[in-house]
């Protein structure tokens, strides 16, 4: 009897915990069911102290719809910290029916075999505030996922991070309106399906050293940053799906990854760059939609892969395949891309049976005249542009069908081209390098350029353009019996013009929102977006002559520039229930204020560019460097915005060296209030306000943003000194609200 009482006493914490309440810091090591509830458990500043830990074998944890909240300040997702749940060191752990929000990482699993995650809502976790604005990009928003050997990806934050897990199943999980959705590190043989990882400002799914996983029937749309329609399109290495570093034999099928920085982004990995070996090889992309990417619908580099029957519309590049080898591109639907397929230094690739419509250039193949001598990959491999097999393709409405610059053993035959301006454009090749024959050229205005000496021999018109080549040994996945249809509905907004960025990420079309559409002189045009309801103007700053004061959604407003340093329109919404950009529920007919707001000081910068050499190097010889600002600049200009990203000589002026130049910029302005000066630099920068040094980052560094709080009243003077030490450079000064 005493032994029984003792055993019951040992089990009491689990029984009580299982039936009633969660407690922060608990370790769950038995199967248990909870009865829901809302729990406010603040996240720790590091990941060593998770809110809950789960460990053991053969566990089922049913949270019964419970909600874990890590931070009550929901409208500041850049302040979220900590780890919600850690699952570690176990087998066959099944977790379900839980919402986690307000953490840097919602859920992490490490060293678990047979993990099942299902019916989870992990939306509204950490998101950094973007520095790029509607009219100007900030280079500091660029992402880099190139290294994760030491879990560097955790610095970004995500809904789910799996590490060293085998055969996981993830289904019916929602992770939206955060930074990243699902990240996998050394995860193999998993099944990931029927999830929604959309509207994040980084990645939908990211994989590193992860192989033989099946990624099926997932919604991965609008994982994007670095895009402003009509102003800039950069993507900044965001992606619907990202595959890095020796991730092989994965299957991606029936997914929708539209409106993302890249739809699909694959890079072999640093180890391949350093050795010439390996890659991210033998991955299958089958029947996905990768359309409307600001950069590449699909990027696959330094690897061997199969791209089969995908939809790729309205991207800058449909496929960017630099250094791809032995890859197959077959049966895909390309349309309205700038370049449908672009491959540099590719070998033994096949482009078969694809449909191309209205791309500016359908296929572009090339190699550089000379590769960098210190690049190990090129030293270890034969990277000549060679051995292409292109047949059975249909081309309609192109400026150029095929463009080639250098290459060998290229065969282009049995294709059909109609309603196009030019069939081929080649240079640095001869008729011995390329074979173009038996193509149907009905309605092509010009044969081409570069091969006129033998065009009549090769331009043989025929109606036999089919190329039904067998995919030997390839297993094509069938749709899962319970797989959801992930493709965008016909009535859903579609197209790059619907990539609408907010301060924290892409707009998800679910809440009232106002954005600047265009700026022409002093005329501002705004869109008022939302599902339903009414709006009215609550207040205005820095604008006048508004074209409307009330209306229904959607609507347009025009205005002209007024006075002051701030531009803002605040609107009041009434209408049906909705969820805000930060996950808060606004009840029906409850007044809700929403706005667009930015600082636009009336600056007029005088900018001067100089050159320096080793004798006047800013770090080695600072006194000599100071003297160059007293001399005559190479070039001077004026601008309203001091926002520069330099990949080459400033102002495209060849008299200014692309490396080792200096910039001096000065302005005077009137302002009143408390602001933050946001300065992004690469390389050294010094800033003076009213002859007082307020920032000094005088060294060689990657793009870095410094924020200096200032209180202003009246007339002020800013002076900025900057030097470029080599490679890429940037200088961006903005005044933002504090």
Specify the CATH number for the domain of residue 515: 2.60.40
CA nearest to 578, candidates 564, 590, 570: 590
Query: What are the phi and psi torsion angles at 473 (to 5°)?
Result: 75, 5
End of a domain among 599, 631, 665?
599
- In the chain, what's the furthest Cα-to-Cα distance? 102
Q: Report how far residue 450's alpha carbon sits from residue 199's, in angstroms, rounded to the nearest whole number.
A: 46
**685 and 722 in contact (C-beta within 8 Å)?**
yes
pLDDT computed for residue 456 by the predictor = 40
Q: Give a yes or no: residue 227 inside a domain.
A: no
Q: Do residue 579 and residue 636 come from a single domain? A: no
Q: Do residue 565 and residue 528 come from a single domain? A: yes
- Can you name the residues that pair with 62 across neighbouring β-strands? 33, 96
**445 and 422 in contact (C-beta within 8 Å)?**
yes
Dump the DSSP string for 329-346: EES-EEES-SEEEEEES-
**91 and 58 in contact (C-beta within 8 Å)?**
yes
CA nearest to 671, candidates 606, 597, 605, 736: 736
Q: Do residue 595 and residue 624 come from a single domain? A: no
Q: Give a yes or no: residue 665 inside a domain.
A: yes
CA nearest to 202, candidates 229, 173, 225: 225
Per-residue pLDDT tens over the stretch 631-662? 999 999 999 889 898 888 888 888 999 889 99
Could you count the other beta carbons within 10 Å of the beta carbon of residue 734? 23
Q: Give a yes or no: residue 724 inside a domain.
A: yes
Query: What are the phi and psi torsion angles at 305 (to 5°)?
Result: -150, 170
**168 and 195 in contact (C-beta within 8 Å)?**
no
Q: Do residue 609 and residue 694 come from a single domain? A: yes
Q: Do residue 346 and residue 440 come from a single domain? A: yes
Q: Which residues of the chain have pLDDT under 50?
A: 1-19, 454-470
pLDDT computed for residue 432 by the predictor = 76
Helix (H) or strand (E) holding 65: strand 52-69
Q: Do residue 435 and residue 526 come from a single domain? A: no
- Alpha carbon dihedral 341, 346, 348, 351, in 10-degree steps, equals 0
| 3 state SS of 168 | coil
End of a domain among 580, 599, 618?
599
Q: Do residue 543 and residue 577 come from a single domain? A: yes
End of a domain among 431, 458, 474?
474
Q: Do residue 355 and residue 455 come from a single domain? A: yes
CA nearest to 127, candidates 460, 624, 583, 732: 583
Q: Give a yes or no: residue 420 inside a domain.
A: yes
Q: Do residue 667 and residue 720 come from a single domain? A: yes
Q: Report how far residue 559's alpha carbon sits from residue 690's, in angstroms, rounded to the nearest whole number.
A: 34
| 3 state SS of 13 | helix
pLDDT computed for residue 9 by the predictor = 36
Q: Report how far residue 306's alpha carbon sits from residue 322's, in angstroms, rounded to the nearest whole number.
A: 15
Q: Do residue 435 and residue 362 come from a single domain? A: yes
Q: Do residue 701 and residue 654 come from a single domain? A: yes
Q: Report how far residue 366's alpha carbon sits from residue 410's, in angstroms, rounded to the nearest whole number.
A: 11
Q: Give a yes or no: residue 64 inside a domain.
A: no
Q: Do residue 520 and residue 629 come from a single domain? A: no
pLDDT computed for residue 54 by the predictor = 98
Could you count the other beta carbons within 10 Å of the beta carbon of residue 550? 11
Q: Report how far residue 479's alpha carbon sits from residue 482's, in angstroms, rounded to the nearest whole number.
A: 8
Q: Give a yes or no: residue 646 inside a domain.
A: yes
Q: Give a yes or no: residue 36 inside a domain.
A: no
Q: Give a yes or no: residue 523 inside a domain.
A: yes
Specify the CATH number for the domain of residue 657: 2.60.120.1560
Whole domain around residue 444: which residue ranges?
334-474
Q: What is the DSSP letter of 495?
A: S
Provide the number of structural domains found in the chain.
3
Per-residue pLDDT tens over the stretch 295-352? 999 999 999 999 999 999 999 999 999 999 999 999 999 999 999 999 999 999 999 9
* Structure tokens given for 190: 């998993």
Query: Is the whole-model pTM more than 0.75?
Result: yes
């Amino acid at each position: 009897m005493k032994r029984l009482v003792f055993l019951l006493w040992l089990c009491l914490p689990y029984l009580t915990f299982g039936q009633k309440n969660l407690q922060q810091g608990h370790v769950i090591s038995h199967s248990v069911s909870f009865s829901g509830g809302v729990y406010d458990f603040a996240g720790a500043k590091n990941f060593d102290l998770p809110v809950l830990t789960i460990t053991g074998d053969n566990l089922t944890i049913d949270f019964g719809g419970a909600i874990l909240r890590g931070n009550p300040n929901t409208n500041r997702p850049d302040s979220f910290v900590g780890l919600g749940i850690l699952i570690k060191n176990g087998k066959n752990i099944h977790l379900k029916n839980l919402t986690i929000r307000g953490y840097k990482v919602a859920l992490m699993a490490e060293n678990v075999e047979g993990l099942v995650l299902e019916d989870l809502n992990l939306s509204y976790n950490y998101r950094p505030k973007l520095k790029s604005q509607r009219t100007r990009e900030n280079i500091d928003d660029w992402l880099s996922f190139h290294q994760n050997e030491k879990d560097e990806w955790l610095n970004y934050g995500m809904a789910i991070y799996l590490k060293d897990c085998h055969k996981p199943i993830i289904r019916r999980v929602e992770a939206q309106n955060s930074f990243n959705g699902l990240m996998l590190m050394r995860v193999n043989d998993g099944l990931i399906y029927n999830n929604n990882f959309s509207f994040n400002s980084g990645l939908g799914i990211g994989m590193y050293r992860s192989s033989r996983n099946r990624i099926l029937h997932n919604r991965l749309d609008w994982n994007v940053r670095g895009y402003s329609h009509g102003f800039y399109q950069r993507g900044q290495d965001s992606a619907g799906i990202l595959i890095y570093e020796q991730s092989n034999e994965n299957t991606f099928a029936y997914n929708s990854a539209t409106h993302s920085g890249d739809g699909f982004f694959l890079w072999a990995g640093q180890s391949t760059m350093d050795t010439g070996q390996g890659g991210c090889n033998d991955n299958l992309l089958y029947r996905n939609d990768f359309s409307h990417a600001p950069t590449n619908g699909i990027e696959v580099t330094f690897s061997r892969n199969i791209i089969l029957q995908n939809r790729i519309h309205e991207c800058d590049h449909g496929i960017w395949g630099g250094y791809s080898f032995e890859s197959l591109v077959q049966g895909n639907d390309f349309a309205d891309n700038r370049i449908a397929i672009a491959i540099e230094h590719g070998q033994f690739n096949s482009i078969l049976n694809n449909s191309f419509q209205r791309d500016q250039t359908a296929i572009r193949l090339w190699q550089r005249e000379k590769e960098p001598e210190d690049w190990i990959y090129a030293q270890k491999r034969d990277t000549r542009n060679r051995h292409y097999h292109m047949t059975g393709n249909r081309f309609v409405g192109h400026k150029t069908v095929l463009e080639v610059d250098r290459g060998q053993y290229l065969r282009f035959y049995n294709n059909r081209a109609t309603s196009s301006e030019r069939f081929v454009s080649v240079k640095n090749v001869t008729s011995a390098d390329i074979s173009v024959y038996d193509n149907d050229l009905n309605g092509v205005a010009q044969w081409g350029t570069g091969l006129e000496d033998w065009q009549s021999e090769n331009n043989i018109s025929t109606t036999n353009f089919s190329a039904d080549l067998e995919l030997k040994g390839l297993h094509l996945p069938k749709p899962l019996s319970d797989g959801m249809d992930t493709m965008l509905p016909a009535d859903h907004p579609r197209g790059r013009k619907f990539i609408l960025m907010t301060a924290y990420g892409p707009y998800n079309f679910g809440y009232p929102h106002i954005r600047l559409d265009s700026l022409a002189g002093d005329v501002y045009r705004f869109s008022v977006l939302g599902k339903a309801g009414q709006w009215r103007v609550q207040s205005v700053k820095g604008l006048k002559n508004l074209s409307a004061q009330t209306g229904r959604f959607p609507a347009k407003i025009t205005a002209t520039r007024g006075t002051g340093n701030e531009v803002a329109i605040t609107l009041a919404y009434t209408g049906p229930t909705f969820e805000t950009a930060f996950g808060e529920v606004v009840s029906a007919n409850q007044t809700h204020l929403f706005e667009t707001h930015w600082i636009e000081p009336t600056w007029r910068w005088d900018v001067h560019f100089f050159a320096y050499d080793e004798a006047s190097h800013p770090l080695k010889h600072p006194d000599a460097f100071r003297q160059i600002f007293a001399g005559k600049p190479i070039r001077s200009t004026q601008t309203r915005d001091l926002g520069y990203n330099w990949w080459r000589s400033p102002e495209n002026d060849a008299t200014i060296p692309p490396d080792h130049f200096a910039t001096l910029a000065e302005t005077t302005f009137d302002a009143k209030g408390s602001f933050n000066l946001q300065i992004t630099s690469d390389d050294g920068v010094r800033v003076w306000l009213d002859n007082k040094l307020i920032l000094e980052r005088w060294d060689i560094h990657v793009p870095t943003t410094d924020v200096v709080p200032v209180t202003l009243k009246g007339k002020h003077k800013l002076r900025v000194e900057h030097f470029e030490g080599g490679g890429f450079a940037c200088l961006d000064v903005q005044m933002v609200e504090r």
